[in-house]
């Protein structure tokens, strides 16, 4: 049987299990076991157990991702993202499109604390979408801004996806994390610049009414309209005071007072957030990234510092509760276990592909095809975009890297630079309609229709695509920091 036919059968089996509703890692695992049984013999199936034991028990790099996940969970559940947004909103919120700019900057800072794109989008979107729509921003523009800003979570270190890529390709995780820092800031700058331009070209984005008509600015109100608004406000206040003094039952008063108290407590929490409130989070960013950059700590040690620092921040701000702590542990265990299963099943699939010689055959065929280096990169980019729309970044990398790693090395690509491009491709795919992951995360966390979510995401897809072209054409942008650290990166 030809190796091309083998490859088609492998993909057909895997897609069959995925269409049945199986998870990505279980689909890969079943496919690897079936493939080894058919082509390598039943005895080779024992390698599945060996790979699971060695990867889960002896590979210390497996500790990095769960610790970064726990760090991000502490900060996300502790509502540190909302503090960051509140502070930035007071700083730039008064400018035209300032709320959208504050949202993007908050996503950028929280991405350096989180490492996950959906977590960044959900944490910032939880407060910023409601705030923007309340201030008259178009719902599609508000959600699109959060969706695009949230994607920075897997580019700016500490990126869980970079950790996974480093384990798969045996590339230095420190180099990968540092390589994503400048591209992440560059993409953030592109997003902010696009917001500034768009709100000036299309003012309706920030002056919006439900019918799609621009809202009337306060300066355009007539005297009669202003007097009517003030009269309605006075009547509402009088009615509220009358209700409070009307002698309602004690239980009704307690129930009626409880909700405003909780709401005001949340609002006061946002109003009380100052630059001093977020300084611990900024210090934590320096500790985690700076310790790796300066060589004071390994990646695992830096991740440990991040977990301890995040725990202390939430505890010091008196937000630590038993429920929050148990939620953090549960979410970390759930996500970390999923990633370990992904790694085990991915390595098993890679073992089968390598043993059958499929990866080497693909590499030789592409290298001898006469296609240019950048044409091959274009084809791989299209593949990453398609798969990134259908699955999470970790699954996309595990599914493609075993097939492509030999090809990439054979044609002379730098694995650190390819890591940045692959993560950016996944980043773009996460907001690409109709099935980008961040789109569904934000739809579930807001009252905006799916049509508006997609409409808001499309312009940012084009901006991130422009960033991809820039990074592909100028590899020095991503390789600058690793070289500055003394690594021999070419």
Residue among 448, 481, 480 at smallest CA distance from 210: 448
Residues counted in the chain: 490
Query: Total structural domains in the chain?
Result: 1
Q: Beta-carbon neighbour count of residue 138 at 10 Å?
A: 23
Q: Per-residue pLDDT for the chain (490 aa), expressed as one digit of tens each?
A: 677 788 888 888 988 888 888 887 888 888 989 988 988 888 888 888 888 777 666 777 778 888 988 998 898 888 888 888 888 888 886 788 888 999 999 999 998 888 788 888 888 887 888 888 888 889 999 999 999 998 898 899 888 889 888 888 888 889 999 999 999 999 999 999 999 999 999 888 887 655 444 444 444 344 444 445 455 555 655 565 555 455 444 444 443 333 333 333 344 444 467 888 889 999 999 999 999 888 888 889 999 999 999 999 999 989 999 999 999 999 999 888 888 888 888 888 888 887 888 777 777 777 777 788 888 888 888 888 887 777 777 778 877 876 777 777 777 788 899 999 989 988 888 888 766 778 887 887 778 888 888 888 899 999 999 999 999 999 999 999 998 887 777 6
Residue 420 is assigned to a structural domain of this protein: yes
Q: Flag whether 408 is in a domain.
A: yes
Residue 163 lies in a domain: yes
Give a yes or no: residue 2 inside a domain: no
Q: How far apart are CA 81 and CA 106, in angstroms?
A: 7
Residue 218 falls within a domain, yes or no? no
Cβ contact 148:460 at 8 Å:
yes
Residue 191: inside a domain: yes
DSSP symbols for 6-73: HHHHHHHHHHHHHHTT--HHHHHHHHHHHHIIIII-GGGGHHHHHHHHHHHHT-GGGGHHHHHHHHHH
The answer for residues whose C-beta is within 8 angstroms of residue 67's C-beta and 6 or more apart is: 300, 303, 304, 306, 307
Q: Is residue 142 part of a domain?
A: yes
Could you give the CA distance from residue 374 to residue 395 in angstroms, rounded to a whole number? 24
Identify the domain containing residue 103 by its residue range. Answer: 23-212+273-484
Tell me whether residue 361 is in a domain.
Answer: yes
Bridge partners of 214, per DSSP, are 208
């Amino acid at each position: 049987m030809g190796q091309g036919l083998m490859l088609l059968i492998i993909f057909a089996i895997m897609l069959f299990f995925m269409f049945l509703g199986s998870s990505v890692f279980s689909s890969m695992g079943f496919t690897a076991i079936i493939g080894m049984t058919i082509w390598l013999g039943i005895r080779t199936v024992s390698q599945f157990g060996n790979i699971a034991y060695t990867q889960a028990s002896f590979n210390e790099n497996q500790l990095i991702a769960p610790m970064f996940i726990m760090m991000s969970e502490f900060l996300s559940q502790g509502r540190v993202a909302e503090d960051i947004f509140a502070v930035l909103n007071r700083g730039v919120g008064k400018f035209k499109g300032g709320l959208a700019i504050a949202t993007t900057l908050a996503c950028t800072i929280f991405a350096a604390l989180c490492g996950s794109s959906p977590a960044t989008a959900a944490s910032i979107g939880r407060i910023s979408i409601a705030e923007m729509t309340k201030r008259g921003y178009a719902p599609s523009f508000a959600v699109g801004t959060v969706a695009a800003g949230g994607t920075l979570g897997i580019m700016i270190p500490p990126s869980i996806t970079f950790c996974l890529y480093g384990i798969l390709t045996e590339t230095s995780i420190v180099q990968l994390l540092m390589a994503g820092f400048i591209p992440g800031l560059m993409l953030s700058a592109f997003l902010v610049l696009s917001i500034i331009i768009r709100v000036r070209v299309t003012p309706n984005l920030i002056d919006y009414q439900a019918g799609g008509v621009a809202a009337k600015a306060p300066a355009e109100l007539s005297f009669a309209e202003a007097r009517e608004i003030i009269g309605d406000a006075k009547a509402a206040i009088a009615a509220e005071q009358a209700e409070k003094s009307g002698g309602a039952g004690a239980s009704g008063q307690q129930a009626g007072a409880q909700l405003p108290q909780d709401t005001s407590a949340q609002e006061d929490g946002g109003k009380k957030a100052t630059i001093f409130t977020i300084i611990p989070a900024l210090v934590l960013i320096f500790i985690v990234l700076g310790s790796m950059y300066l060589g004071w700590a390994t990646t695992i040690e830096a991740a440990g510092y991040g977990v301890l620092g995040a725990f202390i921040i939430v505890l010091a701000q008196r937000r630590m509760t038993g429920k929050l702590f148990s939620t953090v542990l549960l979410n970390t265990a759930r996500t970390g276990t999923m990633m370990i299963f992904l790694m085990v099943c991915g390595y098993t699939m890679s073992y089968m592909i390598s043993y059958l010689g499929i990866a080497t055959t693909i590499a030789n065929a592409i290298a001898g095809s006469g296609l240019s280096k950048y044409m091959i990169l274009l084809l791989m980019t299209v593949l990453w975009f398609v798969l990134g729309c259908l699955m999470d970044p970790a699954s996309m990398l595990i599914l493609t890297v075993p097939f492509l790693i030999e090809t990439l090395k054979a044609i002379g690509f730098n694995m650190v630079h390819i890591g940045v491009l692959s993560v950016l491709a996944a980043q773009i795919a996460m907001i690409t309609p109709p099935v980008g992951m961040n789109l569904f995360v934000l739809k579930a966390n807001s009252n905006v229709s799916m049509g508006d979510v997609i409409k808001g995401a499309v312009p940012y897809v084009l901006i991130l695509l422009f960033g991809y072209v820039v990074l592909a054409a100028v590899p020095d942008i991503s390789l600058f920091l690793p070289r500055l650290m003394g690594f021999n990166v070419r």
